[in-house]
């Protein structure tokens, strides 16, 4: 069973064929340069043989000098072609690495949200760094040294057989042991490296989570605890690498010993032939040099096997990501003629759950939001408010029923077209490690300074930005760590406003701002959203009371709906929430 698993792992390397084809000219040239380098390299022992035999026969000084120049010149030409080899194959391997990393990143970007729920950021980063680098080592050094080993063996052994077949066969006697060692140790290397790469993903995930959540770690004084957990993971990673290193350090000396044994055999048997006059001293020297030339290829065999094992394991992991398919994408049912959408949103008996075995999050939701209208959604935590608005840009697809935007079933609208018409400020505010200007401009190509500033004014953040020494060119830390929660929320609102979307969704986007700022932002939004549809999720009645229509979600269903005044007259959950907040405001003012 393990044999077939390993064979399947090796077959993963065949997926690199398109990358080899793309850069085939460089690889073909590189292999040709390896052949030329090897040919000139094997000429050197031939000239040394002539020099030694010539000395025995009384060669002249000029003749010896000519042979010396031939040796130096031939070695220089061989080295030049070796240089060209690296300039072609190694450069091509870097270009393959570049292409593979971009393809990996592009594929990751196209996957659905659900994929990222099941994979940690650190694990994905390990694929994009360690695993792709391991594949690059196969594409470059492994290919180069494999070709070099094959050419050296074929040409060198061919010449050795011509010189003395019996001596050559004796020199090859240890080779079966070499094959056995490579086969046995190669299997162990593959399994252990695969284990190492999996553990590296855990290590990077731990580091990434701790750095991203450094505020929480410090707030709960868990630095020592987290250092201990990271140390344990690092120690396990070290032990796994040492287990692999023990195999690797045995392979190289074992191969060197077997090649050295070949030299001993050549000296013993070849020496007797020289003594008996059946072989010249120059020929024996030539064979010994050839056997010595085989030392590196023999060592390279072990190293290449190591690289192949690593690359096979890594490519298998990378292919597991490439095999993932986005749940939400354009397909044969997509109508690409749809390029414009108005703001009408219809939920027609929509129900949703994340998996077939999980509980229903939304059940039989019926809702009709006219263009340019405003809808507010309130309800307790966990009743499905965010899930409801996540269905509109198709972050998830409805499980049952139909969701229409602009009169079209969203499953027929091109995904890019649909999302281009939506500005979404998510519940979890996210800013990039970049300038404030670029964070606001993230969703629009090449906006002007005036457009960015206008969006910032609508979000009531312009004045705060201008208080920073560098204004809009101020860099924010990772996830906007240098800004307050309210500032991050307002920058996110400005980012959405800048897109001028027909549909604007604010998912609890004003929770971190004070009441005065909230009123200012809502007033500004009312002005720009007159011809657009807006959906606001909030726990504050003050945020939603001016909406055209308000719904109250409870247990995944619409429990109440109407205007602010209608819901107060109803005296249900909304009215209770309203009076509780009024009481809280009075107590706070007292």
Question: Do 305 and 440 belong to one domain?
Answer: no
Q: Determine whether 238 is exposed, middle or buried from the number of CB atoms within 10 Å of its CB (0-12, 13-18, 19+).
A: exposed
Looking at residue 186, its pLDDT comes to: 67
Average pLDDT across the chain, whole number: 84
Out of 75-89, 157-171, 501-515, the most confident range is: 75-89
Instruction: Answer yes or no: is 570 within a domain.
Output: yes
- Residue 572 — very low, low, confident or very high, per pLDDT cuts 50/70/90? confident
Helix (H) or strand (E) run with residue 449 in it: helix 449-458
pLDDT at 293 over 70: yes
Instruction: Answer yes or no: is 487 within a domain.
Output: yes
Give the end of a domain, one of 437, 472, 500: 500
- Residue 585 — very low, low, confident or very high, per pLDDT cuts 50/70/90? low
Looking at residue 10, its pLDDT comes to: 59
Looking at residue 5, its pLDDT comes to: 46
Burial 385-415 (b: 16+ CB within 10 A, else e): bbbbbbbbbbbbebbebebbbbebebbebbb
Question: Do 495 and 510 belong to one domain?
Answer: no
Query: Tell me: the pLDDT tens digits for 232-259?
Result: 888 988 888 888 888 777 777 777 787 7
What are the tokens at 526? 């009312």
Which residues span the domain enclosing 450? 428-500
Instruction: Answer yes or no: is 177 within a domain.
Output: yes
Reduce the DSSP state of residue 546 to 3 states and report it: coil
What are the tokens at 571? 């005296």
Among the ranges given (104-113, 120-129, 260-269), the one the predictor scored with the smallest mean pLDDT: 120-129
User: In the chain, how many domains are there?
Assistant: 3
Question: Do 482 and 535 belong to one domain?
Answer: no
Instruction: Answer yes or no: is 65 within a domain.
Output: no
- Residue 349 — very low, low, confident or very high, per pLDDT cuts 50/70/90? very high
pLDDT at 486 over 90: no
- Residue 577 — very low, low, confident or very high, per pLDDT cuts 50/70/90? confident
Question: Do 452 and 511 belong to one domain?
Answer: no
Q: Determine whether 49 is exposed, middle or buried from the number of CB atoms within 10 Å of its CB (0-12, 13-18, 19+).
A: buried
Question: Do 216 and 244 belong to one domain?
Answer: yes
Instruction: Answer yes or no: is 359 within a domain.
Output: yes
Torsion of CA 180, 182, 184, 189, to 10 degrees: 180
Query: Tell me: the pLDDT tens digits for 458-478?
Result: 888 898 889 888 888 988 876
Question: Do 356 and 471 belong to one domain?
Answer: no
Question: Do 437 and 414 belong to one domain?
Answer: no
**Shortest CA distance to 125 belongs to which of 206, 19, 232, 13?**
206
Give the end of a domain, one of 450, 471, 500: 500
* CATH number of 363's domain: 3.40.50.300
Looking at residue 328, its pLDDT comes to: 85
Instruction: Answer yes or no: is 169 within a domain.
Output: yes
Q: What is the spatial distance between Cα 287 and Cα 281, in angstroms, rounded to a whole number?
A: 10
Mean pLDDT of 114-134: 80
pLDDT at 221 over 90: no
Q: What is the spatial distance between Cα 145 and Cα 34, in angstroms, rounded to a whole number?
A: 9
265 touches 173 (CB < 8 A):
yes
Reduce the DSSP state of residue 118 to 3 states and report it: helix
Mean pLDDT of 545-549: 87
Question: Do 393 and 414 belong to one domain?
Answer: yes
pLDDT at 388 over 90: yes
Question: Do 194 and 266 belong to one domain?
Answer: yes
Compute φ and ψ for 585, nearest 5 degrees.
-65, -40
Instruction: Answer yes or no: is 62 within a domain.
Output: no
Instruction: Answer yes or no: is 127 within a domain.
Output: yes
Looking at residue 26, its pLDDT comes to: 92
pLDDT at 32 over 90: yes
Question: Do 393 and 509 belong to one domain?
Answer: yes
Give the end of a domain, one of 322, 351, 384: 322
Residue tagged 């602010």 (tokens): 564
Question: Do 105 and 193 belong to one domain?
Answer: yes
This prediction's pTM: 0.74
Question: Do 339 and 462 belong to one domain?
Answer: no
Reduce the DSSP state of residue 560 to 3 states and report it: strand
* CATH number of 263's domain: 1.20.1560.10
- Residue 402 — very low, low, confident or very high, per pLDDT cuts 50/70/90? very high
Q: What is the spatial distance between Cα 101 and Cα 129, in angstroms, rounded to a whole number?
A: 8
Mean pLDDT of 494-505: 88
**Cβ-Cβ contacts under 8 Å for 562 (sequence gap 6 or more):** 549, 550, 570
For the chain, what is the largest distance between any 2 Cα atoms, rounded to a whole number of angstroms? 122
pLDDT at 6 over 60: no
- Residue 76 — very low, low, confident or very high, per pLDDT cuts 50/70/90? very high
């Amino acid at each position: 069973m393990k044999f077939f698993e390993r064979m399947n792992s090796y077959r993963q390397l065949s997926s690199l064929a398109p990358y080899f084809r793309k850069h085939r000219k460089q690889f073909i040239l590189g292999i040709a340069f390896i052949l030329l380098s090897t040919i000139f390299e094997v000429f050197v022992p031939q000239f040394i043989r002539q020099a030694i035999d010539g000395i025995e026969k009384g060669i002249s000084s000029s003749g010896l000098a000519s042979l010396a120049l031939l040796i130096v010149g031939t070695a220089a030409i061989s080295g030049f072609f070796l240089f060209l080899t690296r300039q072609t194959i190694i450069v091509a391997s870097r270009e393959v690495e570049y292409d593979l990393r971009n393809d990996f990143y592009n594929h990751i970007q196209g996957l659905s949200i659900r994929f990222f729920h099941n994979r940690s950021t650190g694990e994905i980063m390990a694929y994009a760094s360690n695993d792709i680098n391991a594949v690059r080592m196969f594409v470059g050094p492994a290919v180069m040294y494999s070709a070099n080993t094959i050419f050296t063996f074929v040409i060198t052994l061919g010449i050795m057989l011509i010189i003395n077949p019996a001596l050559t066969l004796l020199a090859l006697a240890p080779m079966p042991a070499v094959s056995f060692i490579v086969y046995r140790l190669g299997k162990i290397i593959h399994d252990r490296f695969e284990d190492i790469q999996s553990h590296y993903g855990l290590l990077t995930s731990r580091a990434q989570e701790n750095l991203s959540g450094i505020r929480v770690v410090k707030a709960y004084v868990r630095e020592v605890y987290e250092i201990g957990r990271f140390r344990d993971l690092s120690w396990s990673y070290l032990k796994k690498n040492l287990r692999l290193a023990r195999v690797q350090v045995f392979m190289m000396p074992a191969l060197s010993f077997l090649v050295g044994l070949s030299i001993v055999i050549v000296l013993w048997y070849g020496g007797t032939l020289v003594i008996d006059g059946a072989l010249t001293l120059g020929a024996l020297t030539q064979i010994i040099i050839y056997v010595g030339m085989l030392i590196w290829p023999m060592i390279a065999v072990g190293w290449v096997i190591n690289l192949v094992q690593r690359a096979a394991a890594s490519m298998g992991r990378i292919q597991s990501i490439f095999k993932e398919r986005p749940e939400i994408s354009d397909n044969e049912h997509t109508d690409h003629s749809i390029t414009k959408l108005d703001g009408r949103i219809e939920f027609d008996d929509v129900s949703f759950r994340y998996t077939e075995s999980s509980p229903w999050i939304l059940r039989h939701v019926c809702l009709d939001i006219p263009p340019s209208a405003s809808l507010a959604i309130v309800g307790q935590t966990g009743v499905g408010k965010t899930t409801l608005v996540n269905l509109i840009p198709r972050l998830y697809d409805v499980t049952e029923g139909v969701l229409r935007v602009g009169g079209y079933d969203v499953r027929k609208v091109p995904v890019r077209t649909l999302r281009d018409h939506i500005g979404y400020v998510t519940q979890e505010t996210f800013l990039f490690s970049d300038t404030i200007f670029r964070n606001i401009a993230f969703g629009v190509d090449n906006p002007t300074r005036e457009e960015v500033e206008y969006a910032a004014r609508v979000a009531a953040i312009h004045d705060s930005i201008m208080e920073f020494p560098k204004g809009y060119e101020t860099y924010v830390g990772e996830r906007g760590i240098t800004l307050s929660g309210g500032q991050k929320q307002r920058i996110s609102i400005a980012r959405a406003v800048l897109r001028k979307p027909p549909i604007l969704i604010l998912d609890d986007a004003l929770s971190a701002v004070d009441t005065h700022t909230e009123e200012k932002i809502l007033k500004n939004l009312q002005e720009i959203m007159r011809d657009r549809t807006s959906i606001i999720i909030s726990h504050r009645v003050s945020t939603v009371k001016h909406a055209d229509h308000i719904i109250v979600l409870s247990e995944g269903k619409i429990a109440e709906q109407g205007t602010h005044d209608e819901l107060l007259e109803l005296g249900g959950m909304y009215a209770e929430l309203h009076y509780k907040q009024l009481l809280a405001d009075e107590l706070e003012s007292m």
